[in-house]
Structure 1
């Protein structure tokens, strides 16, 4: 390692340690002695990195530098978690080649090192990572194959991957945690909104057809008519916003919305914040729009939620979608439960 590289790597080390402390991410470890760098010279061009492209059997993702942050091109410029980008870049810099493996193209598939668009081998399972600057010049490129977690190591760096440089037949086992996500959810902050269930006062369901109904937090009756309820079902409803996460995200105008009067679910907190989830169905999945209202001291919290979620639609996991589709009868205690009590 040259003196210049050592200084640059040291600077990255300090920055990464600070970032990792705040984001709970793996810290940076300098390139290990005795192994050639997978990306020689990349450390000298880190500041020029403007775009990362990951191509896989699941499609293509492009992470672009956007102002002071990063965004996901294929998801209408949705903000990317900068800590994830830093981790990927750090793992690229510290990656070293441990030992050569097969150089026979017909054996690349065994290590998942066939590029996804290889015309000679259909349905390649490799992940092709390309790093470019603002002019489109490629700074680094690699086909990433199977992951290993049994390499050992004195510093605890037990992860490794099989790799191949595009256009080369030689494959390698490399020591690094570099395994970039191939789905949008792996690059963005997955949290849409998070409000502890203890803070919730009531949840109101406004279906597109049929009457609205409200689920109340104890000690108030769960339902307005004091009907006997399934307490587990009530708890699930009151905990709806305890951790709403996304599976995918798009701009609101990127998805055709059918229902003229989509169902809504309003979550009201004890201190007066109201968060509304508007529910849409598209392509056999459930998407939500999120908005918030608050006055006085809660206006700032509502503004923060709206600034982050305004104009976006979030595809949510099936269990969250099921809670949003709760019917009043789903909350009632079953006869068998009453007989057992």
Structure 2
């Protein structure tokens, strides 16, 4: 065989070997979920008896309680309903969680995986417990750090262990744990465009009514009808009244019967499409609380289903949107730029003073 033929034959062999390497499965790839053991076999059936979810950390415990078959609430937020998709995602993730790889069983090494005692000061672990109506655990797991993979279509993984064991596992599945109660509830109250507000009547305690109306043009700004005599008004402040329901969210929530503070008054908003909204405002120190109610057609019914029975802590700035005073709408005088010295008063010299007789000569 010639030298050229040997070279060609060797090149073909190299290509064949390279193809075989590419087509051979990577033996280091984690096992598929179907070959890994479920962390809690048969859990889906037992979850029908679930009455509470607990997430315990070193700085406190979050509890979500089942109030009805499809309704879960937060006791820490006056039993306000939680987002159902958050509960569903967590419980489904727990039933599908699989233990793929055993890790350390040395208790002194658990903190490296975020699996040390959740009650220890500064611990990053969480104790997840699903409880029945009697408080017995249906499932419980210490959840540690997540392991991030950059490959596409690769399931999430997280380090876990059973509370009574020191054996750590790398588990495959998604467990969205949040200890902040605000992340379990939907804090959006409304998002109504400013141009739907056609008029506002504000009745504050002990003050004359303040009435604002928009002109016939859709783009016309709100204007004050009463009182009839007003100072020069600020267009931006008037527009903030119309924008009161745009991206409206709350900071905290209580039962309506437990609204704190003193009553400020109410703002009644007239909107397009036969919708009317009343905001009843209270002030507790520097904190603004409000109750919302709607009148009208189907839209009002949907809003009331969300708002009825609740008092919401709103941003302090919303006071000037929902129950403004006339003074809040006044155009502010422009202040002098910082660093500008005030103008000195004019000094009159004797030579500039007309008709001033000269002083008499001494006798």
TM-score (norm 2): 0.67
CA distance in 2, matches of 1:281, 1:135: 41
Judge conservation of contact 1:184–1:248 (CA < 8 Å) in 2.
no
Judge conservation of contact 2:47–2:138 (CA < 8 Å) in 1.
no
**1:32-71 residue pairs with structure 2 within 5 A?**
32-56=33-57, 57-71=59-73
CA distance in 2, matches of 1:284, 1:123: 33
Judge conservation of contact 2:282–2:288 (CA < 8 Å) in 1.
yes
Judge conservation of contact 1:58–1:183 (CA < 8 Å) in 2.
no
Residue 177 of structure 2: which of 162, 176, 180 is its match? 180
CA distance in 2, matches of 1:233, 1:63: 43
Deviations 1:269-305 (A, max 9, x none): 13442212222344864332112233xxx2x433443
Deviations 1:230-285 (A, max 9, x none): 44443333121123223332223445x231x3332332213442212222344864
Aligned-residue CA RMSD (Å)? 3.4
Whether 1:238 aligns to 2:236 is no
Residue 308 of structure 1: which of 306, 309, 329 is its match? 306
Deviations 1:179-226 (A, max 9, x none): 223233322332323433232213444444544434544425533368
Deviations 1:312-334 (A, max 9, x none): 12233566567457554444444
Q: 2:83 corresponds to which residue? A: 81
Note the C-alpha offset of 1:110: 5.0
Q: 1:4 corresponds to which residue? A: none
Q: 2:129 corresponds to which residue? A: 130
CA distance in 1, matches of 2:146, 2:280: 40
Q: What are structure 2's unaligned runs of at least 5 residues?
A: 1-31, 336-363
CA distance in 2, matches of 1:110, 1:327: 58
**1:1-341 residue pairs with structure 2 within 5 A?**
32-56=33-57, 57-109=59-111, 111-116=113-118, 118=119, 121-148=120-147, 150-155=148-153, 157=155, 159-208=156-205, 210-217=207-214, 218-224=219-225, 229-254=233-258, 257-259=260-262, 261-282=263-284, 285-294=287-296, 298=297, 300-317=298-315, 320=318, 323-324=321-322, 327-336=325-334
- Matched positions, count: 296
Q: What are structure 1's unaligned runs of at least 5 residues?
A: 1-30
Deviates more, 1:325-334 or 1:306-315: 325-334
Judge conservation of contact 2:33–2:172 (CA < 8 Å) in 1.
no
